[in-house]
Structures are given as structure tokens and as C-alpha cells.
């Protein structure tokens, strides 16, 4: 494997398939004592997932909007 003029490398298809490195999968390059480690970037938690389920009970969006507007 060679590094291109632009600093790119090509990961062989067999390894991409084996490790699930499909198009648009983000990876990170981590320096280690032995060299560089290429790994999938940990999936960040979506902001909506952090608050999902916080609002419980019977409530109406329109009533809430009117309430916060002071009407």
C-alpha cells in the first residue's frame, strides 16, 4: 500500500467488507507507540436521542405555545 501525493491510501476491498468500512463511514486515525491505528469513529449519540421520552403525559403543543407566549 502506498500513500498518494494527497496523503490518501486505499484500503483493500476485502478489509473494507470485513470491517464494515462502507461509503461515508467515518474513521479516525489514532497515533500509537507502534504506528497509526485506523478505526471506525464511535457513533455519536444524536441530540434527539438524549431527550427522547422526557416529555410524558397528556399535553397539547398548541396549548403549550400559547402558554409560553403568555396568551
* Tens place of pLDDT per residue across the chain (71 aa): 899 999 999 999 999 999 989 888 889 999 999 999 999 887 766 777 777 777 677 777 888 888 888 87
Residue 28 within any structural domain of the chain: yes
Query: How confident is the model at residue 4, as a pLDDT?
Result: 95
Number of domains into which the chain is organized: 1
Asked whether residue 27 is domain-assigned, the answer is: yes
Its pTM surpasses 0.85: no
Residue 29 backbone class (left: φ over 0; alpha: ψ -120 to 50; beta: rest): beta
3-state DSSP assignment of residue 36: strand
What pLDDT is recorded for position 44?
67
Residue 7 in any domain: the answer is no
Q: In sequence order, which residues have a C-beta less than 8 Å from that of residue 46 and are 6 or more positions away?
A: none
Name the grid cell of 53: 421520552
pLDDT of residue 62: 85
In a domain, 50, yes or no: yes
Rounded CA-CA distance 71/67 in Å is 6
Q: Is residue 63 part of a domain?
A: yes
Inside any domain, residue 55:
yes
Domain containing residue 46: 13-68
26 found inside a domain: yes
Amino acid at each position: 500500500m502506498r500513500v498518494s501525493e494527497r496523503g490518501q491510501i486505499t484500503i483493500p476491498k476485502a478489509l473494507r467488507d470485513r470491517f464494515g468500512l462502507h461509503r461515508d463511514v467515518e474513521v479516525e486515525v489514532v497515533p500509537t507507540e507502534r504506528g497509526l491505528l485506523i478505526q471506525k469513529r464511535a457513533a455519536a449519540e444524536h441530540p434527539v436521542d438524549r431527550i427522547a421520552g422526557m416529555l410524558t403525559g397528556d399535553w397539547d403543543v398548541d396549548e403549550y405555545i400559547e402558554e409560553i407566549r403568555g396568551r
